[in-house]
Amino acid sequence: MTERLDATSAVALLNALAQPTRLEVFRLLTRYRPHGLAAGDIGRLLAVAHNTLSSHLSALEQVGLLVSRREGRHIIFAAQPHRSDALLAFLADACCTQVPRDCPPVADPAFPSRKDVTEVDRPLHVLVVCTGNSARSIMAEAVLNREGLGRIKAWSAGSRPQEAPHRLALGLLAELGYEISGYRSKSWDEFLGPDAPDLDLVITVCDDAADDACPTFPGVPMRVHWGLDDPAQAVGPQEAQRAVFLKSYRELTSRVSAFVNLPFETMSIVDLERLLHEIGKMDGATRKSLEMAA
């Protein structure tokens, strides 16, 4: 049953969520419920410095939107969706609309645990494609492989690959704790030959790569478009360019975190493809991405 709030509690929840980083923290942890994430992983996925993140986590925990516990050297945080349900119910009560459906109960919600790497016979094989294979697709490959926790194996490629990945893309990934030594810009032709890995899903992240020129990869049952603006086109001072890469990284991590928390192993191709198209419409989507997902 949905918790009932009074006006004072509702104001406290609204105040806690009325800040962009805190709102994104809660949305991210809602995708990872009930397992939660370590504070370091939250900071990496949102590209937020530790000292800044700590104050936001504390503000959310104080109003009951998050709970935490220590696990070894890590502090694990998990979303408490019944609190946001209660807020929605409080707001809806004024206009007599239907009370939001409760989220399924979580066993012992005060003690969330992180997801572990899963051993599977064969992970989902994903290829991320853009034009230059220097920025968006490289970052998406890195995040998919790390967040997939053994359930996903990702590669990236481009239609007209650059000589090397963009220095700001690699620099940002390294700063956030990703291993970057093996990344290179490569042609999608490497995934068309007889020795190429069997692919399950192709994700295009730039509009040019989503055009008809994109080849038909052998045996691929799904192809979706997550169109995002190219951060490599940013000009101006170094800090301004880095800010564009940060924005692109955050847009990618929001999509990847939504994807990896789907039970895709047990979903039909039709249902999974539909949800992946919906993910492509998240904040930052290009006009073409919205049109293709319609």
**CB of 36 closer than 8 Å to CB of 78:** yes
**Cα four-point dihedral sign 17, 19, 23, 26:** negative
Give the CA distances from residue 266 to residues 144, 152, 269, in Å, rounded to whole numbers and listed in that order: 19, 14, 9
Q: Give catalytic status of residue 96 as yes or no.
A: no
User: Which tokens in the block code for residue 39?
Assistant: 């504070």
Catalytic one of 95, 96, 103, 206: 206
40: DSSP letter: H
Q: Match 């993910």 to its residue by tokens.
A: 279
Distance CA 125, CA 264 (A): 12
Nearest to 256 by CA among 65, 69, 128: 128
What is the strand order of the sheet 222-225 is part of?
Answer: 152-158, 124-130, 201-204, 222-225
Q: Give catalytic status of residue 130 as yes or no.
A: yes
Catalytic one of 95, 96, 103, 214: 214
Distance CA 44, CA 257 (A): 12
Write the single-letter amino acid at 130.
C
Q: Give catalytic status of residue 206 as yes or no.
A: yes
Q: Is 258 exposed, middle or buried (0-12, 13-18, 19+ CB in 10 A)?
A: middle
**CB of 164 closer than 8 Å to CB of 134:** yes
Distance CA 217, CA 38 (A): 37
**CB of 66 closer than 8 Å to CB of 77:** yes
Please list the active-site residues: 130, 206, 214
